[in-house]
Structure 1
Amino acid sequence: MKKTSVNRLVAASLVTALSLGLAACQSNKKGDTASQKENHFTVATVRWQDWGKDFLKGFVAEAEKKAKVDVDWKIYLNSDWADQKAVLMAGGKLPDAFLGSISFSDSDLSVFKNRFIPLEDLIDKNMPNLSKIMKKDPNMRAIVTDPDGHIYSLPKREPMSPKVANQLYINKKWLDNLGLDMPKTYEDLVAVSKAFRDKDANGNGNVSDEIPFENGGIDPILTYALPFGTVISPGESGKYWTVNDKKEITFTPTADYYKEGLKWVHDQYKEKLIDQEIFTQDSSQAEAKRQNNGDAIVGISAGWTADALFGKHAAEYVPMPPITGPDGKAYVHADGSGYGRNELMITDQAKDPGKILAFFDQFYTEDATIQTFYGSFDKATKKNDDGTYTVLEAPDGEQDIFAWVNSLRSFGPKYAPDDFNKKVTLPKGAGDGLKLEAQKVVEDAAQPAFPNVMFTQEELNRLSVISVDIMSFIQTKQAHWVTEGGIDKEWDEYLASLDKMGLKEYKSIHQAAYDRYLKNEKK
């Protein structure tokens, strides 16, 4: 099923690179005569892997027929896209549009902004579905409004998007073996972890092979310290930023609760309740411990689902409820609400951008959203007589892969309103159904996430300079304080060092981007 792809080593000659790029790009049309057809346009998209072209069948093909357009889909593979993108953008000929945020990041669009056209007026004229959605849901406009006031890409809101991506899982079999209750408070968590450390929790006769807490999901240290409120947000640009109900933002690594949380984590590390190699091992070594060939040796870890984390040991683990901290509250990382941008960009070479947008406006319906996320009706999904939807079982059991093969999945225009997920029945034993079931234990404790804001080119340039030193310093000090301690003594000096690195400017850039986001919500 794999196609011949561009050899990354062959990039010295622009002519050679162009020819190879064209060879590696798959198309669902033959010959050049199609470009002369009326209502014909080209759309480039990027796929994680070569899963074939079934995702263009069913709904997408029917939408083309209904709109009376002929779309020439240019399909690139992610493994080659970085090289091909550079060649494509340096050349003279571009497709009419690019589909999917996998193709262009915010920084890409900022660099190549002159190659993409503003869409706001065209949306109003040609996209009644999206225009109606933007009026009802201001986030859909806010997330795509550039700092210059224009809209250069179309938004999405994914269906069945979990509120909590990474959550803690605990070995229930170990709890049962030791006669322990599920921990509810941070004191309970310490007591359970000590029992995991000191007793033969896995029952194999070895009292020293258990690891109470192991690295798993994003930022394991702040995940472990969650009882102290150390929540993080999705995405690198907003990772350490939090926002409260009053729309106030906080940079977690400078907050008092961060300091108190790391002091507590150090105490648990010193007691060997946390893997002593958590800062020195790579992800494959941590995975080898979680998925140990023999008995399970990990008590608690964080990640997407138990099967993804623990492999053959998954049946021993259950989602751990949110742990309350010293303030009596429980905190859980939130993962946003499925909003995204850069899902369709129209280039300056498109002859009829209005017609392209009119075609993609069909993607902003509930019927379209379920099909572009899981697969077309009767193949991967079913629309029931009462207006609800059923996602069909994958024939080979690979629920997620089946969805990627048969749909655009996470990429492309789509919209799931607030009540949409209640209309969808998923297979509970795999894929999204498994995750959504697992998150029920913790979702009520999820904290507001910092939104996916947009930065100006000048802001991006400054962030690229400032953030490197700040993030590196924060990570270095975090590891030091967890393993060696001393945070109280060094805290003031730490804050002063961050100020010298440009923390004030770093904060002001994020505050300005957040303020613009809130302003665009009100439009």
Structure 2
Amino acid sequence: MKTRKLMAMAMAGAMALPTCTAFADSAEEPVKLTGLFISHSLTKSLNDMQWLQEIEEKAGVEVEWEQIYTDWDQTKSTRFASGDIPDILINATDDSDYATYEGLFMELTDLIDQYAPNVQAMFEEEPDTLALAKTYEGEIYALPKFQGKWPDCNGVMFINKTWLDNLGLEVPTTLGELKDVLVAFRDNDANGNGDASDEIPMDFNDWFGAAYSLTNLIGSYGIQLTNWGTDGYFVEDGQVKNYAVDERYKALISYLADLYSEGLINENAITNDYSMFQSLSRGDENGDALVGVVLGWEETDKFGPTLHDQYVPCGPFADDVDDLGTDEPRWTYDYSGLNMSSNRICMSANCANPEAAMKFMNEFYDSEVSVEVLFGGISDGCLEKTGDNSYKVLDPLDPDTDSGTWKWTSSMADNGPMYIRRSTTIDMAQDMTYALEEREQYKEAIARIDMDKEYYPQMLMKYTSEDQNNMAVTQANVSNVTEAYWGLWLTGESNIEDDWDSYVEEVNAAGLQDILAIRQASYDSWKAQ
């Protein structure tokens, strides 16, 4: 084993790029690297992850980690502008950084070809990941991830079935039926605790492009969103559009404003942050459910261990309220966004040992390590290997923690670099089992998508630096208008019928049509490939 390690290091030194420094003076000593990880708030110290120490040892490196939990978006520009960055950065960059801080990051194409067989396998087997990794000019500065076990959509709309049963009601299937159910929840002490005023019929979180926003209901009007419909963009008949200026969005807002005016939507939803949104769904101190209808990721994550079995999935809802809707509603299709992400891991251009750093980066894309990145290590007691390419996610070591929270606590989870092969078998924890089962509700609606004319993979679109900068500035101007109005309309502070025409003119004047032209050109180029 020792002889093989020495031979591997000697070969690596011989293959090193002309500008690279050899591994180390002594083959016995690991190469010293520095690393930065932008962490979820729950995630424990990287130094306490045994699986990570194991791949450092396997790659012959020793990494001094810096782990940042908050305010990276506020401090990143100062850090990058100084030019003083560590050798390896995980979950720390976005596409615009490579042009903005030209020369700061290592171009990885040659290093991948020489030292990263796992990464090469991902690019060959999942070609979209290569498209995701490349810049407009065809360069690679960061590696993406692929975790092909996640479902087709992010948000599930849940309804309290116990409340329905208490009131002798059925799960609604149309927008009109949904309103009738919400009225019943409001008026009839649906949770049965003797207080007819503590029920919140419907709740939501955030707006354009948010996973748990009521904009998901735009599918009731025939608009097919893909990958969260970020900033309102979608494709219809091969044309890039934005629903923020679409008459069907006006119809949706009018419907929701009517619900709000009758006290059927949480009046604090506009200002509540995610933690408050989450907490409310988990009931009161007496264990009573408070929310009737709400979007979330998965029932145990959303409602906690005691209330989750009261809820079932519902929607999408056919429109029986006005003439703009459809009897064949859609639901947001998020497969690409849930299973792929760009910019998971990159390297400093000043890294003294790029070949060693690349070999270490490659280890994250090993078939077994990738599962550990997401769910926690085998040695850490989070995962059990059950076959050559099969694994079982174990119950949390902390019995008071749910599986979803434990995943984020124990490993890099979704923030890490990985390639989970489609052929890998994973016996999921309870939360993911529920998540997959719940989304059976939307299979029929998602099957309606025309992948040739309606699929819009925003994450794969490539732009010149000039177009990126123009869109960033212009989108900020557009969002200032769209974000200002929806809350006013929802709460009745302004009337959408009175405002609509001038609002559309204002959005277009802010530059929406310029953005659509840029996006259309990029979409057409992607389609041509």
For the aligned pair, the TM-score class normalised by the smaller chain equals: 0.7 to 0.9
Deviations 1:421-472 (A, max 9, x none): xx111121x4x34433333323553465643145443234323332223112
Normalised TM-score (structure 1) = 0.80
| 8 A contact 1:170–1:319 mirrored in 2 | yes
Distance 1:385 1:288 in 2: 39
Normalised TM-score (structure 2) = 0.79
Alignment partner for residue 155 of structure 2, among 146, 166, 173? 166
Find out whether 1:475 has 2:483 as its counterpart. Answer: yes
User: What's 2:437 paired with?
Assistant: 437
Distance 1:196 1:94 in 2: 54
Find out whether 1:369 has 2:370 as its counterpart. Answer: yes
Distance 1:54 1:96 in 2: 17
C-alpha displacement of 1:252: 1.4
Distance 2:56 2:269 in 1: 51
Deviations 1:22-44 (A, max 9, x none): xxxxxxxxxxxx97655614141
Q: Cα–Cα, structure 1 residues 133 and 299, in superposed 2: closer, same or farther, change >3 Å?
A: same
Distance 2:86 2:273 in 1: 40
Aligned-partner residue type, residue 223 of structure 1:
N
| 8 A contact 1:225–1:262 mirrored in 2 | no
Alignment partner for residue 417 of structure 1, among 417, 421, 425? 421
User: What's 1:451 paired with?
Assistant: 458
Deviations 1:10-55 (A, max 9, x none): xxxxxxxxxxxxxxxxxxxxxxxx9765561414122335613356
Distance 2:258 2:74 in 1: 47
Distance 2:503 2:75 in 1: 43
C-alpha displacement of 1:402: 3.7
| 8 A contact 2:205–2:272 mirrored in 1 | no
C-alpha displacement of 1:106: 2.8
Distance 1:471 1:80 in 2: 22
Q: Cα–Cα, structure 1 residues 116 and 37, in superposed 2: closer, same or farther, change >3 Å?
A: farther
Q: Cα–Cα, structure 1 residues 160 and 75, in superposed 2: closer, same or farther, change >3 Å?
A: farther
| 8 A contact 2:154–2:297 mirrored in 1 | yes
Find out whether 1:356 has 2:357 as its counterpart. Answer: yes
> Within 5 A, what are the aligned runs for 1:247-262?
247-262=238-253
C-alpha displacement of 1:180: 1.0
Give aligned-pair identity as a percent: 26
Q: Cα–Cα, structure 1 residues 156 and 188, in superposed 2: closer, same or farther, change >3 Å?
A: same
| 8 A contact 1:142–1:517 mirrored in 2 | no
User: What's 2:328 paired with?
Assistant: 329
C-alpha displacement of 1:274: 2.3
Query: What SS does structure 2 have at the residue aligned with 1:458?
Result: helix
Pick which of 132-141 and 485-494 moved more: 485-494
Query: What SS does structure 1 have at the residue aligned with 2:142?
Result: coil
Deviations 1:271-327 (A, max 9, x none): 333234443555566556543335333211112233443445433222224323342
Alignment partner for residue 393 of structure 2, among 383, 391, 394? 391
Distance 1:135 1:247 in 2: 28
Find out whether 1:298 has 2:296 as its counterpart. Answer: no
Q: Cα–Cα, structure 1 residues 233 and 359, in superposed 2: closer, same or farther, change >3 Å?
A: same
Deviations 1:106-127 (A, max 9, x none): 3333322311122223323332
Structure 1 alignment gaps of length 5 or more: 1-33
Aligned-partner residue type, residue 314 of structure 1:
H
C-alpha displacement of 1:342: 1.4
Q: Cα–Cα, structure 1 residues 172 and 489, in superposed 2: closer, same or farther, change >3 Å?
A: same
Pick which of 39-48 and 172-181 moved more: 39-48
Structure 2 alignment gaps of length 5 or more: 1-22, 320-324, 450-454
Q: Cα–Cα, structure 1 residues 249 and 36, in superposed 2: closer, same or farther, change >3 Å?
A: farther
Q: Cα–Cα, structure 1 residues 330 and 55, in superposed 2: closer, same or farther, change >3 Å?
A: farther
Q: Cα–Cα, structure 1 residues 414 and 247, in superposed 2: closer, same or farther, change >3 Å?
A: farther
Alignment root-mean-square deviation, CA = 3.2
> Within 5 A, what are the aligned runs for 1:49-448?
49=41, 51-53=44-46, 56-58=49-51, 60-67=52-59, 69-79=60-70, 81=72, 85=76, 88-91=79-82, 94-98=85-89, 100-101=90-91, 103-216=92-205, 218=210, 220-229=213-222, 232=225, 234=227, 238-243=230-235, 247-279=238-270, 286=277, 289-290=280-281, 291-294=283-286, 295-311=288-304, 313-325=307-319, 326-335=325-334, 336-378=337-379, 379-385=381-387, 387-397=389-399, 398=401, 399-420=403-424, 423-428=425-430, 430=431, 432-446=432-446, 448=455
C-alpha displacement of 1:483: 3.4
Q: Cα–Cα, structure 1 residues 478 and 405, in superposed 2: closer, same or farther, change >3 Å?
A: closer
